[in-house]
Amino acid sequence: MAKQLKKTSKKASSLKKRQHIDHHVQHRITLGAGIIVIAVLIGLVFTLFVIPKVHNDMRLARINEIYASIPVPENIYFNDESIFGDKRVYENDAGRSFSSSRSFVVAKTVNETAAELDAAIKNAGYKLLDKAYPGSTSKEYHYKTDRGEYIRLNVSSKLRGDAASNELLMNGKFSDAFFKIDPNAGPSRVILKVNLDDNNE
């Protein structure tokens, strides 16, 4: 009877030790799995949120740096901005992306405004690529930075542009008087675009 009790006690003790070891192993597996899940979640957060945010913030800082390097005329009116760091591609053409844009009005003629801003952009160290749409009533110049980024300058007559909108809204067509408005007439509407990726907007 005593031998049987000893055997039973040994078995119980051995079972207890085994259960303790099994529990310890399960605890380690659970802990390891938890650490792996947390590491994966942290990796996903970094990949999906932190890294793109840092990248976009760097792009935005560069775009603002380009804008800050180009002095604009002192008295500007109706200033409007759409400046962003993330790359925004066209829905129907992923090869093209939207530019950040700044628009304002200058109380000068189109020729005066275009000459002043063209000189400011060149003095900032950006190279003229081309003068787009020769013969157009507005002036558009394209520039490139030494880092391969693009700047577009568009200058047009606000007086003529407003008259065009008004006549189309009211009459659905242009009158003879509209065509007599000097395309150089001030004030000038300026659109200054910056695109870090392409020049095909």
What's the confidence (pLDDT) of residue 9? Answer: 58
d(Cα 14, Cα 70) in Å, to the nearest integer?
82
Domain boundaries defined on the chain = 70-195
pLDDT in tens, 176-199: 999 999 999 999 999 999 999 987
pLDDT tens, position by position, 62-91: 999 999 999 999 889 999 999 999 999 998
Query: Helices (H), strands (E): how many in the chain?
Result: 5, 8
